[in-house]
Structure 1
Amino acid sequence: MDNIAGTKSRLTWAVNISVVFLVLLWVLPTVGLLVSSFRTTEQIRSSGWWAALFPAEINQTLRAADPDDNRTADGAGRYTVEGNLFVAGGHVPDAEQVSATIRSWGTSSRAIDAYRPGETADLGDGETMTVRSNGDYSWSGNGDQISGRGQRVFVTAETPPDLTFDNYRKVLFEPGNREGMTKAFFNTLTVTIPATIIPILFAAFAAYALAWMDFPGRAILVAGVVALLVVPLQLALIPLLKLHNEIGIGKGYLGVWLAHTGFGLPLAIYLLRNYMVGLPREIIENARVDGASDFQIFVRIVLPLSFPALASFAIFQFLWTWNDLLVAMVFLIDSSGQTTVMTRQIVELLGTRGGDWEILATSAFVSIAVPLMLFFTMQRYLVRGLLAGSVK
């Protein structure tokens, strides 16, 4: 029954479901990162990205204004401080711009929801405080009580959904962040573009030789390339760094280019060789009969026909080098920050801005924007290049 026209086998359904699952597994974190990059720190801490379009409940610790400069006397020896908790805490510049609605509040960390908006809290010794739903407060007491720092208030508030471009403005246009991220962006391009082109140039020549040129030991070389695919990257880092230091390359762009070239060559040669082997033999033989040399056959026939495989490896190599941190940390360390790549810059943001999750999310999405555009632009070549040579 599985072979009847118009029906699908169970294996086909299993493959389709698996593909959908893998797509969702990749897309959902990306969408979550994008949504989080438009949210504030309080919203990210209070709810997941899937709740970005719904009101969020957040817990905040706010303070009333310092009483020494803001209190007023009523003539009976009592002083009163009035204002708005959100404005005094620096969350909004003006009380009219307050969008949060207080659901409960308290003056002790052990009972942050002891009072409802409009209720009056007895702070002891005749000192009282009243907080309304929009954050307006009235704090009263004797002169010796209403002094020093402002009263601390624990607030549970509901905020409307708020998606803002302020995070991108801070990362891309604020002087401190702009200089770091912009320079890191161009540093990453400086590493990625040569580290993608150089291995393609070497691998294309090697793949043609292994596919179409007869010479002793060719099979051994192919087996060696396959064996190099399983060698862990970490095993070669320290020996390669010592070699760079001995020959005078040190830590710089040239060293990281050569490192990425060496680590990417086995996959490039294997992928391109499998593709070139699948090209029609008649085309190569006819070109040789017409007197074309191996170099002319490679440049004029094989190379143009191998564009899907070249593009597929270029995508792999670009994504790997763009998102790389380990190789950059080993071969591209600069205390002045002149060669810092984006992955390193994000790590530094994580160290200095550990609580600013919105800045980290925005920086991370800026970092993956270029690989995403490249992938969606050239994904058709990726599929063709990977499938070519896999079946006969």
Structure 2
Amino acid sequence: MVALWTLPTVGLLVSSLRDKDQLAVSGWWTALSASEALGVTRIGTAAEQIAEAGHFVIRGNLFGSDTNKQLGGFGLSNGEPAATEPGGSMAMKEGGTISVAADGGFEWTSDTEFTHTRGPRIFYLATIAPRFTLDNYYEVLTSNGVWRSFINSFTVTIPATIIPILIAAFAAYALAWMRFPFRGFIVALVVGLLVVPLQMSLIPLLTLYNQLAQLFGAEDGKTYLGIWLAHTAFGLPLAIYLLRNYMVGLPKEIMESARIDGASHFKIFTGMILPLSFPALASFSIFQFLWVWNDLLVAMVFLGAQQDRLVLTGKLVSLLGSRGNNWEILTAGAFITIVVPLIVFFALQRYFVRGLLAGSVK
């Protein structure tokens, strides 16, 4: 099971680090072996010729500045891209003969002066050596607005994770250890809210928020405060449920001892309950952080599509639309979106299971 879940992530990471020419012709599992690719390029025009020893010569390189390729053969048509071996010569329709070395360097020689104004196409078959690079990540992070969207995601996610934890911790303590009327009904209501679909409550919540924004004279209801409150509302039922289950399982003897010593509920909560409840707090933090970081629907509804407020998931959707053929850009962008949740999960994973099992046994 671990392998099945990990394999796609490994493939995504390897693909994001591969050279774009290799990524276009072979899968990530071939990253450590050389791959073959068909290419085509136009060579020089008559304006680039030089006269040498009674001949006219045009020189250049089929691969340009790319030194990671080795020529397997070259030709004049797509049907026979490797008709001539590296180092061999081939007659050209424009006159003269051309020879291409294994590193892609070519020399086109003619006894008469070249007159063509458009360079002919040379097809070739090249072997690409394995190469890993960070260029894909550099291109993604320097693309228009991506870095800003990365910061926007943190601006949304961090408060939307901290706020519900603070509120839920107080509520969970009250529901677990304080005596007041209708406590059981409130607990049942919290459990019932866990099954309320997000899509059903999204539009009414947005309508209410816009009405409040107009009531207080706000010109634009699409603010960070709105999305913080929305994620807090959607995250509170699960947070209260997890934390209450954990706090109920704590030894009541320590609470009674604290009360005998004269400690108030607030003192017990801050001095004893919170430190003991850290596994449950960390467990919910992982849930909430992953949910908010990967969210697109709530962000688009409460923030809109303005470029200065667009979160990373929204920006990558637009990047997918504009660069759908650039696989190297998409793989790097996808891994950027998951690397932060991975860091959070592995930093808190030792508390994850303990928090999930909170209250399941006595």
Q: Distance in 2 between matches of 1:390 and 1:68?
A: 82
SS of aligned partner of 2:60: strand
Q: 1:8-87 residue pairs with structure 2 within 5 A?
A: 21=1, 23-65=2-44, 67-72=45-50, 80-87=57-64
- How far did residue 327 of structure 1 move? 1.6
1:351 to 321, 331, 335: 321
Q: Residue 240 of structure 2: which of 262, 269, 275 is its match? A: 269
Structure 2: runs of 5 or more not aligned: 214-219
Q: Distance in 2 between matches of 1:372 and 1:125?
A: 58
SS in 1 for 2:222: coil
Q: CA deviation at 1:143?
A: 7.5
> Counterpart of 2:48 in structure 1: which amino acid?
N
Matches within 5 A, 1:278-289: 278-289=249-260
Corresponding pairs, count: 356
In angstroms, what is the RMSD of aligned CA positions? 2.8
Residue 63 of structure 2 aligns to a residue whose secondary structure is helix
Match 2:333 to one of 341, 363, 370: 363
Alignment of 1:188-199 (within 5 A): 188-199=153-164
CA contact (8 A) 1:46 1:56 kept: yes
Q: Deviations over 1:82-116 (max 9, x none)?
A: 321112xxx43xxxxx3311213332233434443
Distance in 1 between residues matched to 2:210 and 2:112, nearest whole Å: 71
Aligned to 1:109: 78
What SS does the aligned partner of 2:267 have? helix
AA aligned opposite 2:136: N
- Cα offset, 1:313, TM superposition: 0.6
Shift of 1:271: 0.6
Percent identity over paired residues: 56
Write the distance in 2 (CA, Å) between the matches of 1:73 and 1:265: 80
Which deviates the most, 183-192 or 273-282?
Answer: 183-192
Matched with 1:137 is 106
Deviation at 1:268? 0.5
Question: Which residue does the alignment assign to 1:227?
Answer: 192
Q: Who is 2:124 aligned against?
A: 155
Does 2:217 match 1:217? no
Partner Cα distance (1:188, 1:313) in 2: 19
Residue 302 of structure 1, CA deviation: 1.9
Paired residue for 1:165?
134
Shift of 1:334: 4.6
Q: Does 1:239 align with 2:239?
A: no
1:379 has 2:356 as partner: no
Report deviation, 1:255.
0.9
Shift of 1:135: 1.5
* Equivalent position of 2:280 in the other structure: 309
Q: Quick one: structure 1 residues 111 and 241, their matched pair in 2 at CA, closer, same or farther if it must change by over 3 Å?
A: farther
Structure 1 residues 236 and 214, CA, compared in 2 at 3 Å: closer, same or farther?
same
Q: Encode CA deviations 1:177-203: one digit per residue, 9 max, x unaligned.
A: 3x7333223222211111011101111
Q: Which moved more, 1:38-47 or 1:369-378?
A: 369-378
Q: CA deviation at 1:141?
A: 6.8
Give TM-score, length-normalised by structure 2. Answer: 0.87
- Please say if residues 46 and 114 of structure 2, whose CA atoms lie closer than 8 Å, have aligned partners that are also in contact: no
Q: Is the contact made by 1:79 and 1:146 (CA closer than 8 Å) also made in structure 2?
A: no
Describe the superposition over 1:160-191 as per-residue Cα deviations: whole angstroms up to 9, x where unpaired. Answer: 1111233344445xxx53x7333223222211
| d(CA) in 2 for partners of 1:110, 1:240 | 61
- Distance in 1 (CA, whole Å) between partners of 2:31 and 2:197 is 41
SS of corresponding position for 1:375: helix
Residues 43 and 121 in structure 2, CA contact (< 8 A), matched pair in contact too: yes
Shift of 1:378: 1.4
| Structure 2 CA distance for aligned equivalents of residues 339 and 303 of structure 1 | 34
**Inter-partner Cα distance in structure 2 for 1:150 and 1:268:** 67
Q: Deviations over 1:300-336 (max 9, x none)?
A: 222221111011111211122122222212211253x
**Aligned equivalents of 1:361 and 1:244: distance in 2?**
37
Alpha-carbon contact 2:239-2:284 (below 8 Å) kept: yes
Change (3 A) 1:287 1:99: closer
- 1: CA distance between counterparts of 2:182 and 2:113? 94
Report the CA distance shift for 1:61/1:235 in structure 2 as closer, same or farther (over 3 A). Answer: farther
Residues 187/99 of structure 1: CA separation in 2 closer, same or farther (3 Å cut)? closer
* Cα distance in 2 for residues equivalent to 1:99 and 1:235: 54
**Alignment-mate amino acid for residue 102 of structure 1:** L
Please state whether the residue corresponding to 1:37 is helix, strand or coil. Answer: helix
Deviation at 1:121, TM superposition (A): 4.3
* Aligned with residue 208 of structure 1, among 173, 187, 210: 173
Preserved CA contact (<8 Å) 1:102 1:156? yes
Query: What displacement does 1:127 show?
Result: 6.4
Specify every segment of 5 or more residues in structure 1 that has no aligned partner in the other structure, as ranges.
Answer: 1-20, 93-97
Using the alignment, how far apart are the partners of 2:221 and 2:113 within structure 1? 67
**3-state DSSP of counterpart to 1:86:** coil
What is the one-letter code of the residue matched to 1:294? H
